[in-house]
Structures are given as structure tokens and as C-alpha cells.
Amino acid sequence: MQSFSIEQGSHSILVRCRRDGRFKVKEPRTERRCTVDHYVRRRVHDLPVSGRPCNIEVELAQTRDKDGRRLIEATEYVAKGARYTIRFCQFISGLCRYMSIHAVSQHLGIRWETIKNIDKEYLHSTLPGLEPAKLNNLIHIGVDEVARAKGHDYMTVVYDLVSGHLIWVEHGRKAAVLISFFEQLSTATKDGIKAVSMDMGQPYQSAVRKMLPNADIVFDRFHVMQNYGLLIKKERSKAFRNGSHEEKKMLKGTLFLLLKNAHKLDEGQSDRLGDLLESNKTLCIVYMLKEQLQAIWDEACYKSMVMALEAWCGLARSTRILSLCNYADALLDRKVGICNYAKYRLTNARVEAGNVSIGLLRRRARGIRDIEYFKLKIRQTSVPDNHSTFYPNIKLM
């Protein structure tokens, strides 16, 4: 270090450094010793010191190669042409994992675009690559869609359900998007996939049937019950519209009681639910069938699960409630995929957990402008944070 000072106006710390003459100058491309044309001084931003911004002014040797081109010697603490040290970029990326870009920009006094570009470049250089061609030993995979913005376009994510790792993410949710993933897999890897867990959307089904004809499709239990929850909500809304003043008063604030599992209700909630079901026959039927539908996934084998599902659909049809009849018909059309659960015991729980993290990321960002950056942030959510942002040499518990 040559000198240390605090700059007027910005109150930032300036550290001036002189090049250490004990180390010989090397040509940056070949790393061979070479002669110095002249020395240049370069100012870069480093980690804050004692709450103040810190700039380091370093002395670098400029060399000439055999063709007469001027080259600046390479350094291990700052990338070529960068204005920020590598450790400062690592610090910024660590903050961006848990804070919005706007918040990091405000705290560090750096432009929003600069923070985003630093984080994007650091993630691109450090995250493990998603290379489907190199994947092997895939047995069970999970596929789902995640919104890039509510009501707008979507991303397709693919997880290895055995290891729980994210193995692919791409923009779009059409069949062609998932087909492009399968096309990158080796023949041996595709042949080794036994089951694919997904929701009941048609595009992913057609992609799997086309590219993995020997793999079984398993419809995720969560999505089946989620659709039934929409049915309950619809029937409750209908009862509220057609009900008397007293019935509306009883129905108000009861949706969570109808959706919540019976064993999770406390005594007061159970009593209120009992009064509601006693007063409304349709809601009573819909609720009782919900409890019976959930029990189907407890069946021991594929055959018994098919029989239980067919029996439930017959019971639902016998009620002559239109929404239940339509729902039962939809389940029968997808009977094989639903009952394949008994063969593999697969759910998309790992995928949904990843989608929750992606949702938090999307809300924190308050809008995604750069799709490639969003893909990198999605990949980051699947990689555990093992080291402290503030103390990189310390492992997190």
C-alpha cells in the first residue's frame, strides 16, 4: 500500500497501491515473462470499509506482444476491463440472493443496471451448467410450469425427483419446449426414465408420450386435489348467491373450513363446519366426497386404486350434481395417470417447493425484464447457500 485517504465530497476511502516489484511481469495470454512498455494506474471498487465505500488505485504493467499490441497484465482480484473487484462482485451477488436489486443498489450507491449485470455475470460463471446431454441415471423426473409474471408467459422446469436437483429450465410451456429437453438427452438416459410426474395439462402429456413411449405418466396428487378445491369454491359461491340472509351469514368465512383436512381442524372449527354441512346438503355431499377422494391415494396397489377411483366416480355421478359429474368424467379420462401413483409413489412436492422459491423471487423482483437472468436466478434457488455472504470462508450451519 502506498497511501490511504478519505476523499472529499463522497467520503469514500481511497487506497493507493504500488505494484510489488518482487513479482515479474507476465504476458497475459502466454503467461511468459516479458518487458514492460510502461505502467498504468487503474481505480476499482472494493468491499466497503467501516461503512464507507472503498476504491483501490492499483499500478499495473502494460506490455507489448510480438505484434506490437499493448496488453495489460492479468490480475487475480479483478476481471479484465471490470471496475469492481472479484470479491466485491461475489458480495453483490450474495446480497442479490436475498435482497431486491433495487435495495442492493440503494445501499451500495451503484446503478440498478450495474448491480443486475454484476449478479448475472457472476451467476453465469459460477453456477453448475444445465447440460441435458450429460445427464445420466434419470429414473423419475418431475415437470411443471412456473409463471414469469402473473397472467403472462411461463417457464418450464424439470427436476430429478430422486436427487431433488433442478436439471432444466426454459422459457415457454408448450409441448415443443419439453420436447427440446428430451431431444438433448442420450438414448440410454431416455430409455432409463420410468415415470414422469406432472399436472394434468395436455402439452406436457403429448411431449412425454412422443419422446418417452415407455415411461409412465403420474398425475400429481396436489393438482388433482387443487382442481377439486376449485369445485368446492364454485359450489360454495353458488350457495352464497342463492342463499337467504341467514344462510349467507353462516357461509361467510367458511371456505377454509371446507378446504382444510378434517384432522387439522380444532374443536371450534369442527363444530362450525358441522353446522354448515347440516344446513346445506350440496356442500355436505361435496365435502364428504372430498374426504373419500383423498383416501384413494392410500390404496396399496394399482389395481385396488383403479377400483377405488371408479367407485368414487360412480358415487359422484349418482349425486346428479353437475360439477361433480364433470369432475368425475375428467378423472376417469385420466384414470391411468392418477393410479400410476400406486406404482411409484411419486408426487411433485419437490417441484412445488422449488416453485415457491421462484414465486418469492418473482415477487421480490416486482417484474422480470431479462429472461436469461431470470433463468439464472431460478437455477440459483436449487443450489444451497453453503457459505456466508459477509465471511466467504465461513460455512453456514
DSSP string spanning 302-340? HHHHHHHHHHHHHHHHHTT-HHHHHHHHHHHHTHHHHHT
**Is the pLDDT score of 152 beyond 70?**
no
Q: Hey, which of 76-80, 146-150, 180-184 has the most confident mean pLDDT?
A: 180-184
Taking residue 314's Cβ as centre, other Cβ atoms within 10 Å add up to 11
Number of H helices, E strands in the chain: 17, 10
Query: In the predicted model, is pLDDT for residue 146 greater than 90?
Result: no
How high does pLDDT run on average in the chain?
Answer: 87
Average pLDDT score over residue span 316-322? 93
Q: What is the DSSP string of 54-123?
A: EEEEEEEEEEE-TT--EEEPP-SSB-TT-SBBHHHHHHHHHHHTTS-HHHHHHHHT--HHHHHHHHHHHH
Assigned superfamily of 132-220+348-381:
Ribonuclease H-like superfamily/Ribonuclease H (3.30.420.10)
Whether the per-residue pLDDT at 1 is higher than 70: the answer is no
Lowest-pLDDT range, 2-6, 56-60, 213-217, 257-261? 2-6
A 10 A CB-CB count for 259 gives 16
Return the top range by mean pLDDT from 12-16, 37-41, 43-47, 177-181.
Answer: 177-181
Query: How, if at all, do strands 52-64 and 13-16 pair?
Result: parallel
147-151, 327-331, 379-383: range with highest mean pLDDT: 327-331
pLDDT at 323 over 70: yes
pLDDT tens, residue by residue, 32-89: 767 677 777 888 888 888 888 888 888 777 777 666 677 777 777 777 778 898 889 9
Asked which of 63-72, 289-298, 313-322 is least confident by mean pLDDT, the reply is 63-72
Name the β-bridge partners of 147: 154
Q: Which three cell numbers stand for residue 171?
A: 422459457
What is the rounded average pLDDT of the residues 88-113? 91
Q: Is the pLDDT at 12 greater than 90, yes or no?
A: no
Pairing, β 154-160 against β 140-147? antiparallel
Give domain limits for the chain: 3-125, 132-220+348-381, 222-344
- The length of the chain is 397
Please give the Cα distance from 335 to 302 (Å, whole number). 11
Strand order across the beta sheet in which 216-219 lies: 166-171, 154-160, 140-147, 195-198, 216-219
Query: For residue 159, what are the β-bridge partners?
Result: 142, 166
* Distance separating alpha carbons of residues 78 and 84, to the nearest angstrom: 7
Residue 145: name the closest of 153, 135, 154 by CA. 154
pLDDT confidence bin for 309, thresholds 50/70/90: very high
The residue assigned the cell 411461463 is: 154
Least trusted range by pLDDT, from 62-71, 130-139, 280-289, 351-360: 62-71
Cα–Cα distance between 43 and 19 in angstroms, integer?
A: 13
Q: pLDDT tier at 364 (50, 70, 90 boundaries)?
A: confident
What's the pLDDT score for residue 287?
Answer: 93
**397 pLDDT tier (thresholds 50, 70, 90):** low
Predicted confidence (pLDDT) per residue in 331-362, tens digit: 999 999 999 999 999 998 889 888 888 888 88
How confident is the model over 204-232, as a mean pLDDT?
A: 94
The whole-number pLDDT of residue 246 equals 85
